[in-house]
Amino acid sequence: MSWMIRRLRLTCEDTTPLISELMDHNLPWRKRWRLKFHLMICGVCSIYKQQLEIIHALARKLGHEEAPSQNEAVLSEQAKIKIKDTLKQSS
Amino acid sequence: MSEALNSDLWVDQYGDMLYRYTLVRVKNPDAAEEIVQVTLLAALQAKQSFQGRSTEKSWLFGILKHKILDHFRELKTRRTYELSPEDGSDPLENAYQSDGHWANAPKNWDTDPHKAVENKQLVAAMAQCMDRLSEKFRNIFVLKEIEGLTSEEICKEMNIKPTNLWVILHRARNQLRKCLETHNWDTKK
């Protein structure tokens, strides 16, 4: 049994790049299994994985159409006038 | 006459919304302004094709998304996506012991993705941390995490090698992680 564990084992240093990579594309099944196995036994890498998931969720939140503006950014009155003029000229 | 009225209304009703949506993605206010303008211009010229199947707002946002992608495509001709010193290093480069175990383990943030997005301080911190990424890293991160393009699409659109893309995303995520850890946000909120 221990030979299996030795072959499956990844270090934390091996694991963190794989966690990131998994967010971008599918991993070959062997890598996926080794990753899964490592995360089962390593609470620290699981924390890292959750943090990347949080970052992903925060990015999606910021990008949402109805996201409350962080700094109430608006088009300046000047910009609005300029855009209105440009639109009028083209029609 | 009625067309002029409509376009004024568009600016008043949707201008700020379109601008804020764009600013999150392109960061530069002048570029964001320009993109809103070309969007409304394109909308005006395409008014005939708006058949009322969606709302006016979602139609305008549809055009906006295309114009934002055009902007990123244009940028690719003006910059290279090879890594450079200005992009910064991987904060986790020296985070491990020689046997591969963590030397400085990540601290638990006491939150999860569902709670995190409801935490206004944390969301604000994320916006600030994204602005601290290099332009290159920020663009790629936005395309992947916000616009939701696949890796293949990003490589094709931005002319990057897959290995480069992977390094950029990995490093950007680690930089964001480190940045967020230095911010104060109350996990009880």
A56 at interface of B, judged by CB pairs closer than 8 A: yes
- Tally of helices (H runs) and strands (E runs) in chain B: 8, 0
For B67-116, what is each residue's pLDDT tens digit? 999 998 887 666 677 888 889 999 999 999 999 999 989 999 999 999 99
B161 and B125 inside one domain: yes
For B34-44, what is each residue's pLDDT tens digit? 999 999 999 98
Task: Please count the structural domains in chain B.
Answer: 2
Whole-number mean pLDDT of chain B? 89
Contact B50, B22 (CB under 8 A): no
Contact B89, B174 (CB under 8 A): no
Per-position b or e across B129-140, b if 16+ CB within 10 A of its CB: bbeebbebbbbb
The answer to whether A61 contacts B123, with C-beta atoms less than 8 Å apart, is yes
* Residue of B3, B6, B19 for testing the chain A interface, max A β-carbons within 10 Å: B19
* Residue of B117, B122, B179 for testing the chain A interface, max A β-carbons within 10 Å: B117
What domain range is B176 assigned to? 85-182
For A13-62, what is each residue's pLDDT tens digit? 999 999 999 999 889 999 999 999 999 999 999 999 999 999 999 999 99
Assembly ipTM: 0.87
B102 and B163 inside one domain: yes
CA distance B25 to B127: 11
End of a domain among B60, B78, B96?
B78
B11 and B69 inside one domain: yes
* Residue B164, C-beta contacts closer than 8 angstroms, at least 6 positions apart: B81, B82, B83
